[in-house]
Structure 1
Amino acid sequence: MSTEKSLSAPDEAAMLALGARLYEALDVGSVVYLKGELGMGKTTLSRGIVQAAGHTGAVKSPTYTLVEPYQLAEGTLYHFDLYRLGDAEELEFMGIRDYFIDFRLALIEWPERGAGFLPPADLVVTIQPELPGRRLHLQAQSPQGRACLQRLAL
């Protein structure tokens, strides 16, 4: 079973569609790290995932709040953006461990800024520029991540 997959998203609509496909392939309780420079589409991909999960309102980057919870029929989906995190230890003060007790899915942008305080990823998605659009490199880090990649291959 492959532990890596690469996908192309030539535009925003394709990125949203990939987010929807990814949501359908992920298991309950999955942790997804989203990596890439500013403007690569991490929040756009997250929007596709959150909308596929059934959220009908706005999906914005939680850059200033650090986390945006979405209460869904299947459980809570957490979208973290750690770009403005000053020190990873701040996550301990906000009770980061409590978020990972009972949840549907956790999307974490800029996970390297929370190193040592975050649970390990099931799937790491790295987004890079490609003409046209973006290339997404998906790397499974757990049995859940490998199962996700296998479902995406169908």
Structure 2
Amino acid sequence: MSNTFSQHLADEAQTVAMGTRLCKYIKEGAVLFLHGDLGAGKTTLSRGIVQGMGHTGKVKSPTYTLVEPYDLDDVSIYHFDLYRLGDPEELEYMGIRDYFSTNAICIIEWPEKGHGFIPNSDLDVDMAYDGQQRIITLSANSERGQIIINQLGQDA
């Protein structure tokens, strides 16, 4: 069994669909680190996850707020964007540790900016340009992450 999963995403619709597909396997919570250049589709993938879990409103980038919470019936989702974070210690002042319960889904864009103040990820999600398309690669970093990768592989 592989600890990675990769797929081409032709457009925004396929990126949202990938998030919706992924959310089927993270219902018990997970920490996802999203890596990729600006415009690579990190927020679009996050929208697919949040909407796939049942949120019907807009899903916006938390670039200026650092975190957008989504309290749904069965799960809490916290979408972080640390791009504009000046110092990782700022996360301690906002009570970052309170967000990471075992059943919460925490999606973190630009996680390297929070190094030392956020837990390790269950999944690293790399999004890279391939011409006009994207390649998404998920890598498991925990048993929970490996279960998600295995289920995605069986679903392919």
Task: Quickly name the TM-score band, shorter chain normalised.
Answer: over 0.9
Q: Is the 8 A contact 1:32 1:123 kept in 2?
A: yes
AA aligned to 1:74 is D
Q: Determine the structure 1 residue equivalent to 2:19.
A: 19
Q: Which runs of 4+ in 1 moved over 2 A?
A: 101-104
Deviation of the 1:27 alpha carbon: 4.5
Aligned residues: 154
Query: Percent identity over the alignment?
Result: 54
The separation in 1 between residues aligned to 2:103 and 2:53, in whole angstroms, is 13
Q: Is the 8 A contact 2:30 2:102 kept in 1?
A: no
- Aligned pairs for 1:37-76 within 5 A: 37-76=37-76
Deviation of the 1:133 alpha carbon: 1.0
Alpha-carbon RMSD: 1.0
Structure 1 segments unaligned to the other structure (5+ residues) = none
The separation in 2 between residues aligned to 1:123 and 1:8, in whole angstroms, is 18
The separation in 2 between residues aligned to 1:76 and 1:23, in whole angstroms, is 13
- 3-state SS of the aligned residue for 2:31? strand
Deviation of the 1:75 alpha carbon: 2.0
Using the TM superposition, name which of 128-137 and 82-91 deviates more.
128-137
The separation in 1 between residues aligned to 2:16 and 2:101, in whole angstroms, is 28
Using the TM superposition, name which of 123-132 and 111-120 deviates more.
123-132
The separation in 1 between residues aligned to 2:69 and 2:41, in whole angstroms, is 20
Deviation of the 1:102 alpha carbon: 5.6
AA aligned to 1:26 is I
Q: Determine the structure 2 residue equivalent to 1:87.
A: 87
Using the TM superposition, name which of 64-73 and 96-105 deviates more.
96-105
What do the CA deviations read for 1:1-57 (whole angstroms, capped 9, x no partner)? 211111110100000000001111224120000000101000000000000000000
- 3-state SS of the aligned residue for 2:108? strand
Q: Is the 8 A contact 1:74 1:104 kept in 2?
A: no
Q: Is the 8 A contact 2:27 2:75 kept in 1?
A: no
Q: Determine the structure 2 residue equivalent to 1:117.
A: 117
Q: Determine the structure 2 residue equivalent to 1:151.
A: 151
